[in-house]
Chain A
Amino acid sequence: MLRRTTSSRKPILIVGGAAALLLFACGPYFMNGYNIFQLTMLMSYAIALLGIVVLTGYCGQFSLGQGAFFGFGAYVAAVLIGKASLHYLLVLPVAAAASFVVGALVSLPAIRLKGIYLALTTFGLAVAFPQLLKHPGLEAVTGGVLGLTVSLPQPPEFLGVTQDHWLFLVSLVTTVIAFAVTAGLLRGRVGRAFIAISDNPTASVAMGVSLQHYKMLAFAFSSMLTGVAGAISALAVRYVAPDSFSMFLSVTLLVGAVVGGVKSVWGVIFGALFMLYVPNIANQISEAAPWAVYGAALILVVTFIPDGIASLFDRFIGRRRNAAAEPTGVYAPSGVK
């Protein structure tokens, strides 16, 4: 799983990446409000998918409930702005901290479950979450079935940009931080511990890697990323409602992660592009088509390119992953090994 870039191509990649980032950052100067909104959503999805890469790709824990963490972050942002009138630049860090704590709490039962049981439990979380948001006891805070509207942040005047553009810039800075922190975390000791747990939990314990500690960290960190993504989307969409965060959102996020490459930090960009543009294209065929397209894409990618679009890209630019990347059949029936 450890990635090594052949040294001769590394400078090209860095320069190319920086150029692409610069181009992306300048994008809004040539776009209308809707396109800027789309770019902001693109970054929101990318951060959310990053959470799945950490949790599922690296640590090997399947979550079908990421939509609930996304929704939690979105609601924290909406409530803080709408009810507590918190300054919006403080909203994202607070949403991140709150999501981190919630992720850690959810991990308490989750770290005791493995494989299909964890998937099942998180699936349950995704199914139950909208109902929880609609609960009359929380209506004063969550706005019940109707949800909450979120006002868009006012840009500082000296910048001379529109509200959409300002949110884009805030999201861009957040995204860069999220990627840098995640890549740093995964490259070091923590990332290696995650991979060890995913490859062989028993051997990891024998090597002194605490399952409890690292699984909890993976859940909390993943929830934090996904929650921040949700907060950005709440600001961009300017509205939150319980049914936006149904089980289907969790499934959509899973599809995005798998399509991009669940083991690749950079693959989330492809996954986010897929999530943003494919439904729009599919919608032109019929209203029910996006789900079918998502489902078909998920099955096709898992069957034919299990490591997602990122793996095609990696092969193209000459990155190699070593043999240990192969999934082991730890949870498979004993005869399969």
Chain B
Amino acid sequence: MGEFLNQVLAGVANGGIYASLALALVMIYQATQHINFAQGEMATLSTFGAWFLFDAGMPYWVVFALTVFGSFIMGALVERLVVKPVGTASPFAFIAVTVGLLMIANSASHWVGGGDIREFPSPFPGWLGSRYLSAHETGTILVTMIVLVALLTFLKRTPFGLAMRAAAQNPVSSGFVGIRVGLMLTIGWGISAAIGAIAGMMVAPIAFLEPNMMGSILLYAFAGALLGGINNPTGAVIGSFAVGIFENLLGVYVTGSELKLTSALCLIVILLILRPSGLFGKAAVSRV
């Protein structure tokens, strides 16, 4: 039983990581009604930025703030310079552009970081750790919760968040009531890149920093976001923890660790077919 509990908690620790990236995916979906395939690679690039700031000798939380801010700017610039000119009317074009961004961000990470695997510091003091979760794992879950609360407050409790959701769901009507739809998209991309950067800095101490760090984590984050509902931040976090536990238990007791990605893929497929809106999401209704 103790062993089982250990495995569940190891899954919770992984889930905390998936949840942090899943929040970035939810954010971009809230802002654009699309999925950004480059989310993971952009986060990796941000994390490389943070690594160089550490290397210059700055203290952790200063670097943290600078990276989050810098990533916001990066995300906003990407929207303005790359995504906007394409337009979002054709989903194929949008997917193609985010895949293009994925390749460019991956290439940029290779270019700035080389092939080396780097260690990345964890900011959390040792007393946060316990018998079951390390200090960093507990800290990651805490940070994810803080991001979740901040995101929920922003989206649900501020006029700005309401405007952003409106702009994504119905750009034309939102424009008529005076919402600056273009600005909302830009800021949405900025915020999701910033959340992605936080996720990257939480992942890097565990997974080591290298250009393909986020590759498989992105798939789990997708699974988590879809499980909980990609238009529901709380659901996405719960879903990510569930995916983390499910994946770990399945890996330990059933399939072995070699099939973890495949089981995540199967989970995504089953979910999308049986309940595309996720456990906590609202079903999308579209007029034909």
Contacts and interface: CB of A to CB of B under 8 A. Distances in A.
A125 B96 contact: no
Interface of A is mostly: helix
B220 to A, nearest CB: 10
A302 B103 contact: no
Contacts of B5: none
A245 B110 CA distance: 20
A248 B99 CA distance: 10
A116 interface: yes
Given A131-B260, A296-B104, A299-B104, 18 more contacts: A56-B92, A128-B261, A128-B262, A134-B258, A136-B256, A136-B258, A251-B99, A258-B96, A289-B111, A292-B104, A296-B100, A299-B100, A299-B101, A332-B89, A332-B90, A334-B286, A336-B89, A336-B171
Contacts of B276: 113, 117
A270 interface: no
A64 B99 contact: yes
B243 interface: no
A302 B91 contact: no
A202 B92 CA distance: 19
Interface string B81-119: 010011011111101110111111011101100000000
Given A116-B95, A251-B102, A335-B173, A288 B107 contact: yes
A302 B272 contact: no
B215 A247 contact: yes
Given A112-B273, A135-B259, A332-B91, A303 B108 contact: no
Given A113-B272, A116-B91, A333 B171 contact: yes
Interface string A261-304: 01000000000000000000000001111111011111100110
B170 A334 contact: yes
Contacts of A292: 103-104, 107-108, 111
Given A291-B110, A332-B89, A127 B215 contact: yes
A190 interface: no
A327 interface: yes
Given A113-B272, A120-B35, A302-B86, A62 B95 contact: yes
B168 A333 contact: yes
Given A254-B99, A291-B104, A127 B88 contact: no
A113 B91 CA distance: 14
A335 B100 contact: no
Pick from A202, A298, A299, A306 the residue with the most CB of B within 10 Å: A299
A121 B110 contact: no
Contacts of A254: 96, 99
Nearest to A304: B85
Contact of A131 (B33, B90, B103, B262): B262
B65 to A, nearest CB: 29
B264 interface: yes
